[in-house]
Amino acid sequence: MATHRKARTALLSAPGPRAAVGLTTAALATVTLLGETASAAPAPGKPAPQPSIAEVKAKVDALMHQAEVATENYNGVKELTDQQNSKVNELLTQAAQKTQALNDARRVLGQYAAAQYRSGGDDTTSRYLLSDDPQQLVDQAHLTDVLSKRQRQAVETYRVRQAAATQQRIEAAKSLAALTARQAQLKSAKAAVQTKLGQAQHLLNSLNAQEKQRLARLRAQQEAEAKARAAALAARIAAKEKAAQEAAAKAAKAAAARTTATAGTTATTSTTSTTSASTASTAAEKAIAFARDQIGKPYVWGATGPDSFDCSGLTQAAYKAAGIDLPRTTYDQVDAGTRVAESDLRPGDLIFFYSDVSHVGLYIGNGEMIHAPHTGTVVKIAPITEMPFYGAVRPY
């Protein structure tokens, strides 16, 4: 009689805990924390491959960008909150003043009421009939009439001031409610910034020393590539500017050959144009000089100086030093001047990045800018090609 034995199932094909343990052990033995992703699809039950260093950097950069978007939103809300707070203080001061005026009117009205009570009211007819001196009574009646008019004026003054005080209190209450709503928005915007920064920092903290070195090398490589692109852009800008200067010189030479009257007019126009360009150049130079003095100071979101800056806080402060007031946020600064093409950039122009206009830098020439990048960095010089270009503005 034959012995029937049940066939053994292969270890790796058998379902259940033992197979799971075997797969997990194999995965941990062959996959590092941030190893490069294999081209083949992972086997069922195998842990998902860890992201590559390039993927980690892309994720961190995306979170930093989102944090900057949230920062500009915060800056806008904070500006509105500060304005609303000033309005509330002004309305409360006006309400207090109107309340004091109302109290003064009430006091005068009370004095008239007390005087009338003490005199027993107006009994002009009886006093006229019983008076020994009718002329004196006429004089008294005239005085009474004057006092009555003053009483009516006091009543009217009280009524007007009461209405004004009531309206002022209503406006102050509405403004306070608006301020409370702004403060809630400000709190939410602040939380959004902190959340994105926290996520980015958590991701960076998960890297070991070797992975951080690889990340640093990748960043250095990308920065070098951005510098090369910036140099090429600067060369194109310089070539275009040279061509424009040569064309202007040629036009000036042709104008000099015209009649004396025409030449005189041209000279006057040229002088005016040169003066205007000189003034603009001075403003740009002052803004750039201020920005250079801030190099090395830390980026702090929401900061406008003097010890730290965010991107729009730096550009706002730089042009304030040049006597030009810029709005607070990138969203408003992008409309504060004349739009210029990337190929027409001049030192002093504001350069904006990303389709959401969430970052700004100050162009200094040679394809470079001074900007405050993001949390964990400092104000520095960088190539303008390291971020996607949105547009440029000449604010002078």
3-state helix, strand, coil in the chain (%, to 5): 65, 10, 25
Top pLDDT among 302 and 271 is at: 302
pTM, two decimal places: 0.66
Contacts of 222 (CB under 8 A, 6+ apart): 386
- Residues paired with 361 in a beta bridge: 351
pLDDT tens profile 61-106: 999 999 999 999 999 999 989 988 888 888 888 888 888 888 887 7
Structural contact between residues 370 and 315, judged by C-beta atoms closer than 8 angstroms: no
Q: pLDDT averaged over the chain?
A: 80
Query: How deeply is 72 buried, as exposed, middle or buried, from its count of CB atoms within 10 A (0-12, 13-18, 19+)?
Result: buried
pLDDT reported for residue 322? 96
Q: How many residues does the chain have?
A: 396
What the block records as the tokens of 239 is 């070539």
pLDDT for 158:
76
Residues belonging to the active site: 311, 359, 371
Q: Is pLDDT at 386 greater than 90 in this prediction?
A: yes
Instruction: Report the alpha-carbon distance of residue 218 to residue 89 in Å, rounded.
Output: 52
**Tens digits of per-residue pLDDT, 100-110?**
888 887 787 77
- CB 222, CB 386: distance < 8 Å: yes
Q: For residue 133, with 0-12 CB atoms within 10 Å meaning exposed, 13-18 middle and 19 or more buried, which class applies? A: exposed
d(CA 104, CA 391): 60
Question: Residue ranges of the alpha helices (H) in 31-121?
Answer: 53-119
